[in-house]
Amino acid sequence: MRTSSSNVVVAAEALGQNAIKIISNVCFSVFVFLVLIFTAIAVTYQPPDPWLDSAPAFAKLFAQIGNATFKNDNSILRTGEDLTTPAASSVLSPKEAVATAAAAPPIITEAEIEKAEEKIENSTHSSGSPPPACDALAGKTINCSDPLVLLAIERFNLRAFRSIVFLDYQAPVNGSRSDECDVMWRFRNKKERSWRKYRDFRRFKIGVRDDCSYKVVHPGGWHSGINARRAWVSSTSRPNTTRRAGKSGKFAPPVSKDDQINDTIPTLGSDASFRKGRYLYYSRGGDYCKGMNQYMWSFLCGLGEALFLNRTFVVDLNICLAATYNPSNKDEEGKDFRYYFDFEHLKEVASIVEEGEFLRDWRKWDQTHKKKIQLKKVRTYKTTPMQLRKDKSTIIWRQFDGPEPENYWYRVCEGQAGNAIKRPWQALWKSKRLMNIVSAISGWMDWDFDAVHVVRGEKARNKVLWPHLDSDTSPEALSEKLKGMVQPWRNLYIATNEPFYNYFDKLRSQYKVHLLDDYKDLWGKSSEWYNETTALNSGKEVEFDGYMRVAVDTEVFYRAKTRVETFYNLTRDCKDGINTC
């Protein structure tokens, strides 16, 4: 019996050991299998491209590192002044952060106005002079230089125009009548993240209350206070108050120059300054004449590498505008970077030099010195920024001579370089000249409007990819769908690529419809934009091209109180065609 019991115990122990071995082998096999699956996913996985996703995916781009490959969806890419994500601001260099903080001006608030009123009241009491009787003020010429007049206007503006921040005012001047005052101020829109200043000047009808305080009886429209504007206009230029814009019946702005724009090209200075510098030079590649979004994607890759290498980036101001933005349907060379982007801001936040200036100084050095500049030519994007980090050459010259897509600038930021290069989005803002037009259009509507984005054009004609888009954006369909989204007789701005101006006439019986072409005088031959771009172009007229139109349309759309999107509100079709939602 004892022998039998011993055999049972031994058999049980052997069975337990075998079970443990089997379980261990199974667990190890599962572990190995999972490791192989994870490795395969890590090698083959390609993250989705944010440009092709919905609007929220755009913000995610700045909080993650993915494949740098660009895919163009023919939309407008928002630039640095539009971005609000923390990750976007985290890519600012110390120089950029200091410049941004220094640029933030004080703003005018209700509390500041009350303090100013109290100070004036105390000053009046201390002088001992009795205040004038209210009936003595009635019917008299308003003293526009009275500080209390300005405070009344400031308080009125704060309550009437809640979408903007007021930064500073000029002293009011007399209007055309005894009870009118013209005043100019600078402001910014609350939805714009930059601290750039814009200008408005309006005419106000001023009245007197029973307690002798001033009140605004009626405000004028955008740029109506031309007497306040005259001090800012040169002697050779006079305000144009007769020309009207399109069918909207709005006055054209006076001709002048925006004193906040500085497009001058910085010089390198002496030979010694050039020799001591360190430069990153990208020769022209396959991105030339591609869409503007691809241009920005690549440009910021190059600028990001220059920041990583602590070098001055050489900027080619010549842009080739892709055929998709031109009525001729042909690529157009000779466009100036400054037509589209804020060159002054770029100079402030990044170390850059203009290509022509750079090449002249380089040529001059080689002609006047026996010792040539140290130059390192990099012939492939596969040479990573990390490999160039310790290079001491004066000039690192990346050459993009290969076939497409090997010659795209953004290839430099692919792979492991994507972990090191941070695209400095905050360095690239839209042109102040274009943004002045955006502010003017918004100002004509007193910054109180709704907007609808109506995509038509080629997409509406392509019934295979967008079978419902044409009918869903017809005037009848728009009229029906907007009823539940926009209140009747609101200002309605329509951002669209529909070329037929009268296409939206059906909506005019329900809303105050505004189209970009209603404001043609803002870029016409009597405008600030025309004068300034003509000066940039050596006296030659500059076309207000397709990209400028879409950029302005897009920015006005962003500033609306209610925004109605084509592919999210108007149609069942997907943004990138069927089965892509």
Positions of E strands within 105-169: 164-169
Beta bridge partners of 203: 182
> What is residue 568's DSSP assignment?
I
Buried b (16+ CB within 10 A) or exposed e, 371-381: eebeeeebeeb
How far is it, in rounded angstroms, from Cα 31 to Cα 365? 64
| pLDDT of amino acid 556 | 96
Q: C-alpha distances in angstroms, 466 versus 458, 563, 568? A: 10, 22, 14
Q: Which among 462, 454, 479, 458 has a CA at the least distance from the CA of 566?
A: 454
pLDDT single digits (tens) 451-509: 999 999 889 999 999 999 999 999 999 999 999 899 999 999 999 999 999 999 999 99
**How many other β-carbons are positioned within 10 Å of the β-carbon of residue 27?**
10
CB 460 within 8 A of CB 466: yes
Note down pLDDT in tens along the chain; length 581 residues.
445 555 555 555 666 667 677 777 777 777 777 767 766 655 444 444 333 333 344 334 433 434 556 655 555 667 877 764 434 444 455 555 555 555 566 889 999 988 988 888 777 666 555 555 565 556 678 999 999 999 999 999 999 999 999 999 999 999 999 999 999 999 999 988 888 899 999 999 999 988 888 999 999 999 999 999 865 443 333 333 333 344 444 444 444 577 788 888 888 776 778 888 999 999 999 999 999 999 999 999 999 999 999 999 999 999 999 998 988 889 999 999 999 999 999 999 999 999 999 999 999 998 888 888 999 999 999 999 999 999 999 999 999 999 999 999 999 999 999 999 999 999 999 999 999 999 999 999 999 999 999 999 889 999 999 999 999 999 999 999 999 899 999 999 999 999 999 999 999 999 999 999 999 999 999 999 999 999 999 999 999 999 999 999 999 999 999 999 999 899 999 988 888 88
Contact in structure between 313 and 351 (CB atoms under 8 Å): yes
- Do residues 186 and 164 lie in contact, with contact meaning Cβ atoms separated by under 8 Å? no
Q: Whole-angstrom Cα distance, residue 431 to residue 428?
A: 9
Residue 333 and residue 325 in contact, taking contact as beta carbons nearer than 8 Å? no
Q: What are phi and psi of 359, to 5 degrees?
A: -65, -35
Taking the C-alpha atoms of residue 297 and residue 282, their distance in angstroms, rounded to an integer, is 14
User: Pick from 335, 397, 512, 423: which is nearest to 96 by CA?
Assistant: 423
Tell me, yes or no, if the pTM score tops 0.85: no
> Taking each helix axis from N to C terminus, what angle separates 528-536 and 432-444, rounded to the nearest 10 degrees?
170
d(CA 18, CA 528): 89
The Cα 519–Cα 521 span in angstroms is 5
Q: How far apart are CA 186 and CA 506, in angstroms?
A: 37
Residue 348 burial (CB count, 10 A): 17
Phi, psi of 444 (to 5 degrees): -60, -30
Quote the pLDDT of residue 245: 40
Do residues 204 and 153 touch, judged by C-beta distance below 8 A?
yes
Tokens of 322: 């892709």
| Residue of 294, 381, 244, 391 lying closest to 77 (CA atoms) | 294
* Number of neighbours of residue 581 by Cβ within 10 angstroms: 11
Helix axes 432-444, 546-558, angle to 10 degrees: 50
Is the CA virtual torsion 548, 552, 558, 564 positive or negative? Answer: negative
The pLDDT score that the predictor gives to residue 464 is 93
Q: What are phi and psi of 65, to 5 degrees?
A: -110, 125
Per the CB < 8 A criterion, the answer to whether 167 and 107 are in contact is yes
The pair of structure tokens assigned to 552 is 């302005």
Q: Which CATH class is domain 263-427?
A: alpha beta
Helix (H) or strand (E) holding 493: strand 491-496
Q: What is the pLDDT of residue 87?
A: 40
Separation CA 120–CA 142 (nearest Å): 18
